[in-house]
Chain A
Amino acid sequence: MSSQQHTLELAGCMPVPLAHYLKALGVLRIVGVSEPSAAGWWKHDRFFLRSSYDCASLCNFFLNSYRPTPLVAPWNGGSGFFPNGNRRAINAISEGRAKRFQPYRALIEQCREVLRRLDLAEKPTGRAKLRLLQICRNEFPDEMVSWLDAAYVLTAEGLKYPPLLGTGGNDGRFEFTNNFMQRLTEVFDGETGTALPGMRESLEASLFGAASRSRSRAAIGQFDPGGAGGANANAGYDAPSDVNLWDFILMLEGTLTFASASVKKLETVAMGALSCPFCVRPIGVGYSGAHLSDEGTARAEMWMPLWDDPAPFSTVSRSFSEGRVDTGRRQARNGVDAARAIASIGVDRGITAFQRFGFHQRNGLSHFAVPLGRFDVRSIPSVEDLLAPLDGWLDRFRRAATSKTAPARAGRALRNLETAILDLCRRGEAQDIRTVLIALGESEAAVAISKTLRDGELGNAVPPMPLLSQAWIARAIGRNSSREFRLACALASVTHERVGPMRRHFEPIDDKLWTSRHPAEPEWAKDTGDPNVVWSNWELTRNLGAVLCRRLVEVRRSCDRQVNAPTLMPFRGRVAASLGDIHAFIEGDVAENEIDTLLRGLILVDWSESDPLSGNDEGIPSGGIDVLYGLLKLCHLEEPFDEIQVKLSPEVTRNAVFGRAPAATRYAIRQLRASGMLPAFDAIRATSQRTRRIAAALTFPVSDGSKWILKHLVIRSAELRS
């Protein structure tokens, strides 16, 4: 070994499959034991190692000097410590005299002594197993504590297994430590410890990706789905597993990096959180072929960090052992949270990307680490500001929507929502915000329609979604907004101090939300048969017409109580629609479906914060203005304007909504005259269809400038002059 530093590209160590990622960490760990300053990093999907070793001396080190970490699991039936397991390898190691296996022999002996002391002749269960696990943790040599902490965690709530090592170094019928010993005895002579023929070649293949013929039919377990064999794994029907022995050895050496730090595991973690490094609960979204049903059979997800500055093993393992992903002030619970954490604070440690793996059950009982895509770390700070206030609701919704009794619609909505959040975390564009908004609206609708979800069982009720902040709008607009988005905003911003916001026509909301003096959180209305919920699956025009009629009834009823108040339209909007956009709506030049879906999300926003009637005023539109619209709008103003105060007349509204232009015109002109104004025409013809659209357009709030234009269009100029 010279003091000269070499940087080696380990082309055999890539972030995918998981086995190769772990192999890289295994190499860094083993080299780091004898050379603490050795450092490793990832670049261009390869692992780089800087140490005093060059290619040849690194191989020599592994072939001649490497002392395998004595991985044992005397609590597992197949560990080799009990009669029913395969004992060939463990006996070869413990009876051999190879110097490199000396620590292994010592630990095997220590295990046997403990098993004798506890009088355990077969695999322990229950309390006896807990006792054994605790004694191992208490008495094993210091170097082995990391192995135990990677394999199991004893918490106040009981025994927990970090998913990386299955259930304590065992997955189904595959026992990791026994296989590790078997691979070791296939690589080294148990008696002398010398490497067997062909092992240099396969080591070079494992480290540097050189082609090698010496692969084995041994099993590799969950870490390399491609190499695990099975049906359709290869040409032909059923391929044997195809594994480089060194890959398996180095990979298991690498798992020790993920020892849960005692510091973290001693915490009583909040419900639903796993206390293992970079582990979160699985969610079935965000990758091709994703399905919610993956969640049921998946054990967990791991988000493996990739970093591109040289770091020594001690630092890597310390960072990993505390490596939990936090979103804001709470620990990430699932993949969506993890993505959010990365979008908000991932940049702090110079981690460039995370490789996402899911431990999914395939081929019967075994789990496979399925790569689920790469997440580049970029700071998207607004994500947290937007989503954090919704955490409580999202948790509840997720719990309810994934329960057995939940309606399928809620499950779909949840999936869309989580996919949208993942995309937002990756890109952070205005379009992504809009998609999340739509998905939120869809989710809320799924809850509102289902009594099961609203009422819940065992305290699992899902309340209405809390009001979203104005920041959602600011971020969703982006550089250019669509006509549909602008119109939907205008509609969503409609409110009235007595009749309430637009949202109440979509779902039964308790009127405390707008009548209470103090800011209140939305709650479900006690009376679920609320007649104000008029929005349904009809086309947009019909829904808007229904809203118009309903609000008319409501405002008249509330005005009955206040005798002297003039009855005006309860359509005060915080955001005005431009006449141009309204014209396009009347002409049918907008995607109504899009307005509908956007509206469902936008009604959740707290519009009271926005500037009143901001923006969207562009004067007389090039396409002109429909006179009928002008006439009817003057009869549906929400407040007196420029001395015009037209009393609300149900006949006008009803006839318009039902598409009867002549009748609507007649009544409208009568109303205007009664208010002392002379319209410039007697009758206006329009098709029934068009009249309905015009009636629907009355719901859009307009600016004072627009009202002025409408007034000039409709009222005789002589009247105006006088």
Chain B
Amino acid sequence: MWEVHPERDAILIGTHDSLLSRALNRGHAISRYQWPVYFSLLNNDVLWAIDDTHLIGPGLATTAQLAGLRSKLGTVGRCHTIWMSALLDESAIKTVDNTKEASPTRVHVLDAMDYATADLQRLQTAAKPLMQSGLSLSSESADTYAGDLASQIVRAHLPGTITLAVVNRVERARKLYEAVNTEQRKSSSEAELFLFHSRFRTKDRHSTQSKAVNETSLPPAGRILIATQAIEAAVDISATTLFTELAPWPSLVQRFGRCNRRGQCGQGENSPAQIIWIDVSTEEKTADDVARPYRRGPLAAARVHLRKTNDVGPESLRRIDHREESPVYPVLRRKDLLELFDTTADLSGNDVDVSRYIHEPDDTEAYVYWRSWDLKRQRSAPPAPKREDGTVVFPSALQDELCSVSIAALRGENGFLKKARDLVWTWNPLLGDWVNVGPTDVRPGMVLLAHTSAGGYERELGWTGDSESVLRASEIAIDAEIIPRANEQLNEDDLGSAPTTLGQHLKDVAEQATRLSRTQSLEDEGIPWPAIIRAAWWHDIGKAHRTFQKAIHRDRRAGESLDPMETWAKSGTSRQLVYSTPEERERAGFRHELVSALAWLNKHDRTPDTDLIAYLIAAHHGKVRFSFRSMPNESSDKSDSNRTLARGVWQGDSMPEVVIENGDVSPAFEVSLDVMMLGERSGRPGWLSRCLKLLLAQDIGPFRLALYETFLRVADWRGNGVGGCP
């Protein structure tokens, strides 16, 4: 809930995938309507510290560009970035918008004083003898490889120590894990065995992987850890014996760092460290597949270094001069960032993919979670999330049950989605319904719900993609932990905990906005608080629209009717509102905030901050931002098919007068959707023109605009009593 408190300090720790996608306004595995909130908080008044920059591929240039663009386009508060790496190439963070001149950097390296300390001396001189395994991986040896390597590992393992084997692919890691398991049974080895890769549900990873890397609880027989490159970053473990497949040089350097990490191997009674590398074939033709996920060139380059040395301790590594033609990754440009600002959902369901700015091209991921439901239902679709009475029956994904899976494993002829036909679904917020996901539908960052019978996952092995691997019922239990907010992912509106009149709610939210403006940390930052507070006073005016009032009265249970003379903002129930007009015409997807913004524009044109306030009002749920239009599930006016409509609002709808407690009055008027048009109507500019003006304004720009938007949303949440702020 840190996002409810933008005025407080917060430290966030995350993977480059999750944080960079959020900083690009396309947060992976979170509701699209939350994207702008994270975008704003990660790009204003922020210090980014990025570790192991040489491992994040295109992500590195993206962090540099974001730093440069933040300083060019302007932010609230100051923003700094620290890049940390054992192999940092300074030129890699000098990009078109982050030039030496525009954003000078200071370089911090260890100096002589640092090197003089005993601890560092020990680490620097730690011995890591290197030898090549007799095994090598090629398309011919692929079948027997896991078994052969397993017996080498079990033989080389020393009791009381950790043996780490790093292979390049999850699938191979899994096979190796099973082979070592078999081998151990044969040789009655009692060493603990763990599998470590990134394709686990968060909760499984936490429970088993924290044990795997805990060196204090090492049993006498020691431990064998089978891992993928997931071990390369941010895992503090020191193995005595390290097996590694050939990998690009920067990856190998990281892997070597996991052996004799504390410099204590070979000291006193400790066994000496040993590193065994396994060649991976890079010959023409068949080798591409074996080399995956890497390219053959970098592997061949790394092999040259390995063949020339018999130790890879820090001192030895320093003597190796590694140069390679760095790949050219796509660089995030100003134009791209400005385009990413708009989060309007695409009608054809194509969600924007920013992964080219985050990952290597073939390294994109989607997220899968497993549940069980009655497949005899219509279309065998998962149940609707809520019952009629508003109780949650099928909560959306909880963060810790998500498992990241590579897109490649899902797509294609042999992909998981092909095998699991009709068993994998995703929630489409625009339709408010589950949609079946086929092999061609999956997109990076998508959250997929799989029926347990589709298989693909085992608690011990993580993602297998195999239909034989099925989670047991106890492993997917969803119990009392479920809170109503668990369905926030499904993008519903908060209807409050008690009935609230519109007047009261506007006052509550305006008060929260005012309180936020007086927070010390947010003063003196040039934030246009009067505009934000004014927007707060107006933000829910559209709820006076009779479609909304009708829906909110219908929402009450029998015998609990709301006073029909009042205008209500919150029903206090958690049911989904059903919108229809007094004539009982359906108004699917009615958005009150659009009416609020139109009401504001009806009364105010050309006054300072008109457009800013209109935008903030419209964007306060993240659902109506840069563009709005009619949706495919909206039914039109049968008597006039050319009548314009958008998000449940029709041209010519009548709005009653609303008197606001701050003295403003929104007079009764007929709703005009003319702003939706490309060009201006009656001398009044279109919505898109107004938004673009804010986006391109020197004193606003994308980062500040998103933050102002977030402030109003925070005030609204707090006005509803969310996040412990009554």
- Is A351 engaged at the interface, CB distance under 8 Å to the other chain? yes
Identify the closest chain B residue to A382 (Cβ). B641
Q: Of residues A263, A309, A318, A324, which shows the largest number of chain B Cβ atoms within 10 Å of its Cβ? A: A263
Partner of A329, one of B632, B636, B642: B632
The answer to whether B328 and A263 touch across the interface, beta carbons within 8 angstroms, is no
A157 CB, nearest partner CB in chain B, Å: 10
Query: Contact: B689 with A309, CB < 8 Å?
Result: no
Does the CB pair A267–B353 fall under 8 Å? yes
Whole-angstrom distance between the alpha carbons of A326 and B430 in the complex?
15
A146 beta carbon closer than 8 Å to chain B:
yes
Whether the Cβ atoms of B679 and A138 lie closer than 8 Å is no
Q: Establish whether residues A329 and B689, one from each chain, have CB atoms under 8 Å apart when the complex forms.
A: no
- Given A134-B328, A142-B334, is A348 in contact with B443 using a C-beta cutoff of 8 Å? no
Q: Do A349 and B677 touch (CB < 8 A)? A: yes
User: Measured between C-beta atoms, what is the minimum distance from B63 to chain A in Å?
Assistant: 15
Q: Is B680 an interface residue (CB 8 A)?
A: yes
Chain A residue contacts of B349, Cβ below 8 A = 329-330
Given A137-B330, A137-B333, A142-B333, CB of A39 within 8 Å of CB of B632: no
Selected from B329, B352, B629, the residue in CB contact (under 8 A) with A349 is B629
Taking CB atoms, residues of chain A closer than 8 Å to B330 are 134, 137-138, 154
Q: Does A291 contact B (CB under 8 A)?
A: no
User: Contacts A142-B334, A263-B339 known; A315 to B686 CB distance under 8 Å?
Assistant: yes
User: Contact: B335 with A138, CB < 8 Å?
Assistant: no
- B330 to chain A minimum Cβ distance, whole angstroms, is 6
Residues of B within 8 A of A310 (CB): 679-680
Chain B residues, Cβ within 8 Å of A311: 678-680, 686, 689
Instruction: Establish whether residues B688 and A319, one from each chain, have CB atoms under 8 Å apart when the complex forms.
Output: yes
In the complex formed, the residue of B with least CB distance to A50 is: B680
Q: Which residues of B contact A322 (CB under 8 A)?
A: 627
Tell me whether B692 is interfacial, beta carbon within 8 Å: yes
Task: State in angstroms the CA–CA spacing of A378 and B443 once bound together.
Answer: 34
A384/B356 contact (C-beta < 8 A), A267-B443, A314-B696, A348-B676 known? no
Contact between A135 and B688 (Cβ–Cβ < 8 Å)?
Answer: no
Q: Is A331 an interface residue (CB 8 A)?
A: yes
Which chain B residues border A445 with CB–CB below 8 Å?
none
Query: Within A166-207, which residues are at the interface with B (CB < 8 Å)?
Result: none
| Partner-binding segment picked from B147-155, B260-268, B340-348, B532-540 | B340-348
Report if A347-B644 is in contact (Cβ < 8 Å); known contacts: A39-B679, A138-B331.
yes
- Residues of chain B within 8 A of A671, CB atoms compared: none
| Contact status of A131 and B348, CB under 8 A, knowing A349-B676, A349-B678 | no
* Complex contact B676–A138 (CB within 8 A): no
Q: In the complex, A264 Cα to B335 Cα: how many Å? A: 13
* A262 in the interface (beta carbon within 8 A): yes
Residue in B347, B353, B440 whose beta carbon sits within 8 Å of that of A266 in the complex: B353
B-contacting residues, A305-334, CB 8 Å: 305, 307-312, 314-316, 318-319, 321-322, 324, 326, 328-331
Contact for A379 among B342, B348, B351, B642, CB less than 8 A = B642
Can you name the residue of chain B whose Cβ is closest to the Cβ of A305?
B678
A350 pairs with B678, CB closer than 8 A: yes
Chain B residue nearest to A134 (CB atoms) is B328
* Chain B residue contacts of A318, Cβ below 8 A: 688, 692
Find chain A residues with CB under 8 A from B646 CB. 348
Q: Say yes or no: A145 contacts B632, CB within 8 Å.
A: no
B336 on the A face (CB < 8 A): yes
Bound-state CA distance A312–B342 (Å) is 19
CB of A269 within 8 Å of the partner chain: yes
**In chain A, residues 510-526, which have Cβ atoms closer than 8 Å to a Cβ of chain B?**
none
Inter-chain contacts of A139 with B (CB < 8 A) = 96, 331
Taking CB atoms, residues of chain B closer than 8 Å to A266 are 352-354, 356
Contacts of B444 in A (CB 8 A): 268
Contact, CB under 8 Å: B339 / A351: no
Residue of A nearest to B683 (CB): A310
Closest to B632 in A: A328
Contacts of A312 in B (CB 8 A): 689
B641: chain A residues within 8 A (beta carbon): 379-381
Question: Is the C-beta of A235 less than 8 angstroms from some C-beta in chain B?
Answer: no
**Residue among A259, A348, A380 with max Cβ neighbours from chain B (10 Å):** A348
CA distance A156 to B361 in the complex (A): 7
Does A331 contact B350, Cβ atoms closer than 8 Å? yes
Q: Is A270 an interface residue (CB 8 A)?
A: yes
Asked whether B696 lies within 8 Å of A39 as measured between CB atoms, the reply is no
Q: Would you give the shortest CB distance from A515 to chain B, in whole angstroms? A: 21
Rounded to whole angstroms, the CA-CA distance of A264 and B356 in the bound complex is 13
A345 on the B face (CB < 8 A): yes
* List of A residues within 8 angstroms of B96 by Cβ: 138-139
Minimum C-beta distance from A6 to chain B (A): 16
A309 touches B678 (CB 8 A): yes
B217 to A: closest C-beta gap in Å: 44
A261 located at the interface, meaning its Cβ lies under 8 Å from any Cβ of chain B in the complex: yes
Interface residue? A56 (CB, 8 A): no
Contact indicator A263/B689 (Cβ below 8 Å): no
Q: Mark A613-643, 1 if CB is under 8 A from B, else 0.
A: 0000000000000000000000000000000
Q: Is B681 an interface residue (CB 8 A)?
A: yes
Contacts of B443 in A (CB 8 A): 267-268
A264 to B678, CA, bound (A): 19
Determine the residue in chain B with the shortest Cβ distance to A131: B328
Q: Is A271 on the interface with B (CB-CB < 8 A)? A: yes
- Closest chain B CB from A353 CB (angstroms): 13
Minimum C-beta distance from A201 to chain B (A): 32
With A142-B335, A156-B356, A261-B339 already in contact, the answer to whether A39 and B680 are too (CB < 8 A) is yes
Cβ of A41 under 8 Å from chain B: yes
Across-interface contacts of B333 in A (CB, < 8 A) = 137-138, 142, 145, 262
B95 CB–A CB distance under 8 Å: yes
Hey, which chain A residues are within 8 Å of B353, CB to CB?
266-268
Question: When the two chains form their complex, are residues B440 and A271 in contact, meaning their CB atoms are under 8 A apart?
Answer: yes
Over the window 291-311 of chain A, the binary record of Cβ atoms lying under 8 Å from chain B Cβ atoms (1 yes, 0 no) is 000000000000001011111
Chain B residue contacts of A39, Cβ below 8 A:
679-680
Nearest-Cβ distance from residue A686 to partner chain B, whole angstroms:
50
Report B-chain residues with C-beta under 8 Å of the C-beta of A345: 629-630, 632
Complex CA–CA separation, A312 to B95 (angstroms): 31
Give the contacting residue for A319; candidates B331, B348, B636, B678; CB below 8 A: B678
Closest residue of chain A to B444 (Cβ to Cβ) is A268
A349: nearest chain-B partner, CB-CB: B678
> Which of A310, A322, A329 has the most chain B CB within a 10 Å cutoff?
A329
Q: Tell me whether B348 and A331 are in contact (CB under 8 A).
A: yes
Question: Looking at the complex, which one of A137, A267, A321, A347 makes contact with B331 (CB distance below 8 Å)?
Answer: A137
- Taking CB atoms and an 8 Å cut-off, the chain A residues in 33-81 that contact chain B are 39, 41
Give Cα A267–Cα B334 distance, bound, in whole angstroms. Answer: 19
CA distance A610 to B696 in the complex (A): 56
Complex: chain A residue closest to B72, CB-CB: A142
Q: Could you tell me if A321 and B676 are in contact, using CB atoms closer than 8 angstroms?
A: no
How far apart are A51's CB and chain B's nearest CB, in angstroms? Answer: 14
Does A326 lie within 8 Å of B348, measured CB to CB?
A: yes
Chain A residues near B676: list those with CB within 8 A.
348-350
Residues of B within 8 A of A347 (CB): 642, 644
In the A-B complex, the 8 residue pairs with the closest CB atoms? A309-B679, A350-B677, A311-B679, A138-B331, A267-B350, A262-B336, A348-B629, A263-B339
Question: Told that A307-B678, A311-B679, A329-B632 touch, could you supply 19 new A-B pairs with CB distance under 8 A?
Answer: A134-B330, A137-B330, A138-B61, A139-B331, A142-B333, A262-B336, A262-B339, A267-B351, A309-B680, A310-B679, A314-B689, A315-B679, A316-B678, A329-B348, A348-B629, A349-B677, A379-B636, A379-B642, A384-B632
Q: What would 22 A/B residue contacts be, using CB atoms closer than 8 Å? A: A138-B95, A138-B328, A139-B331, A263-B352, A264-B350, A267-B443, A307-B679, A308-B679, A311-B678, A311-B686, A312-B689, A318-B688, A318-B692, A319-B688, A322-B627, A345-B630, A348-B630, A349-B678, A350-B678, A379-B636, A381-B636, A384-B632
A residues contacting B by CB (< 8 A) are 39, 41, 131, 134-135, 137-139, 142, 145-146, 149, 154, 156, 259, 261-264, 266-271, 305, 307-312, 314-316, 318-319, 321-322, 324, 326, 328-331, 345, 347-351, 378-381, 384
